[in-house]
Amino acid sequence: MTLAVDVVVMAAGKGTRMKSTRPKVLHRLGGRALAQHVIDCAAQLAARSVVVITGHGADQVEAGLQPPRPLEGQVATKLQFVRQEPQLGTGHAVQQAAPVLPADGVTLVLSGDVPLTRPDTLQALLDLCGGERLALLTLDMPDPTGYGRIVRAPTADGSGAGHGAVRAIVEHKDATPEQRAITEIYSGIMAVPTRLLSTWLARLDNQNAQGEYYLTDVVKFAVADGLDVQAHRITDAVQVAGVNSPLQLAELERAYQLRLAQGLMEQGTRLADPARFDVRGELTCGQDVEIDVNCVFEGRVRLGDGVRIGANCVIANAVIEAGAVIHPFTHIDGEKAGVSVGERALVGPFARLRPGAQLGTEVHIGNFVEVKNSTLAAGAKANHLAYLGDATVGERVNYGAGSITANYDGANKFRTVIEADVHVGSNCVLVAPLTIGAGGTIGGGSTVTKSTDPGALTVARGRQVSLRDWQRPTKKPA
């Protein structure tokens, strides 16, 4: 039987070095709050519950975090908040959570500002704990200044430090010069049987250099109780790196993006430059997808087989079907309603697709064309400088340069229906509500206010007048 896992996320600290009014753990990485990454990771581990310890900016932090989306076929992970006021140290933080941690499980302690720990690393730590041992995630650092050091017993063969059993964690400020020379540090992450954790938490004191209740003191209690303490020693520093400053946030952002880029490239997606690529949400790609430089993907975006995305596109909440091409500098944001782009459609350069834009197969949307809450059937084209809002556009319609749907009367919005095979000339205003009948033609420069019959030519503009004998005025002699 696998043990129930309850995750404690420490998030009460202030984050002074961010120099921000926003609580540190709500700063975003890959479009998600730092602490949300940690919470979502808990769902990957099929955790029973996540307890977030809040303090500084508690109201904001609690409002800014959501329960993780459960993996398929998995019981939802429960999200709880516990307040720590004032903040008297990491041990004191976990003490606040203890009353809500069931004794039958394993507690996994994480930090809300350490977003890039891999679920498989944490699973290995949980396996090492096995419901019986205290398991610590550790790492060797060239410069361990500031971190808690892993103090080990000498090995039986006298081969010395670095390999013996773990005896204690000593905080930097409490460490002797010899201990400060130790390069193996505690990452801030541990897995511990909850029944044992509770007894150890009750024994903590603050008799140390910082006058804080150190969670790390549980190690010496475990050793004193004869319990096995194990270290899972990793080499990938990014997995335990915390965010304390805008610079560190930016560094971890790049590390995260590179990780996503590598994942996509391993599946065959061709990125022009993995260093100039940003996903702030979820991007899924079919086969033979090509993405040029400086593209940003937000929310949920799906790209079908053979889709090509030109340079400098921002694409959010959209589905782009197979073979479609999005030319450079296109902005697509489906927000809640979504955007869909049909197979082999061509969009851009410099196009804007807004919520509810649904483009059919082989639709063409050209430069400086804006489409909102409109459906364009297969083969429809709007190639230059146009607006389609609240419109239903039939197959093969050609919508001329500079034409717009006047969908808003200042109070209400109305629909424009343009039936199949209509040709709308340049610079037309279609004043909704109206229907342009199938196969009809609207002469350039028309302002159309009434529905038109199928097949008809409609011209709604001043008639052209040419005066053959007209004379230009000339200057009168002085």
Select the residue interacting with ligand UD1 from 87, 407, 441, 452 (CB under 6 A): 87
Q: Is 23 in the site for ligand UD1 (CB under 6 A)?
A: no
Total residues interacting with ligand UD1, rule: CB under 6 A: 27
Nearest residue (CB) to ligand UD1, 16 versus 66: 16
Sign of CA dihedral 115, 117, 118, 119: negative
Site string for ligand UD1, 174-213 (x = CB under 6 A): -----------xxxx-------------------------
Nearest residue (CB) to ligand UD1, 192 versus 285: 192
Nearest residue (CB) to ligand UD1, 88 versus 182: 88
For ligand UD1, which stretch binds (CB under 6 A), given 9-17, 120-128, 301-309, 459-467?
9-17
Q: Is 139 in the site for ligand UD1 (CB under 6 A)?
A: no
Site string for ligand UD1, 94-133 (x = CB under 6 A): -----------------xxx--------------------
Select the residue interacting with ligand UD1 from 117, 216, 269, 330 (CB under 6 A): 216
Phi, psi of 136 (to 5 degrees): -115, 140
Q: Is 318 in the site for ligand UD1 (CB under 6 A)?
A: no
Q: Is 36 in the site for ligand UD1 (CB under 6 A)?
A: no
Nearest residue (CB) to ligand UD1, 94 versus 385: 94
Sign of CA dihedral 241, 243, 244, 247: positive
CA distance 345 to 339: 13
Q: Do 461 and 446 contact (CB within 8 A), yes or no? A: yes
Q: Is 53 in the site for ligand UD1 (CB under 6 A)?
A: yes
Q: Is 239 in the site for ligand UD1 (CB under 6 A)?
A: no
For ligand UD1, which stretch binds (CB under 6 A), given 87-95, 294-302, 402-410, 467-475?
87-95
384 is catalytic: yes
Q: Do 331 and 372 contact (CB within 8 A), yes or no? A: no
- Catalytic-role residue among 92, 327, 331, 384: 384
Interacting residues of 39 by C-beta distance below 8 A, sequence separation 6+ = 7, 9, 50, 52, 65, 66, 67, 68, 77, 79
Give strand pairing partners of 54. 11, 83
Amino acid identity for residue 446 in this structure = S
Amino acid identity for residue 475 in this structure = K
Sign of CA dihedral 111, 188, 50, 234: positive
- Helix, strand, coil shares of the chain as percentages rounded to 5? 20, 35, 45
CA distance 26 to 36: 8
Interacting residues of 249 by C-beta distance below 8 A, sequence separation 6+ = 18, 27, 29, 243
Amino acid identity for residue 345 in this structure = A
Which residues are part of the catalytic machinery? 384
Positions that interact with ligand UD1 (CB under 6 A): 10-13, 53, 84, 87-90, 92-93, 111-113, 147-148, 169, 171, 185-188, 214-216, 242
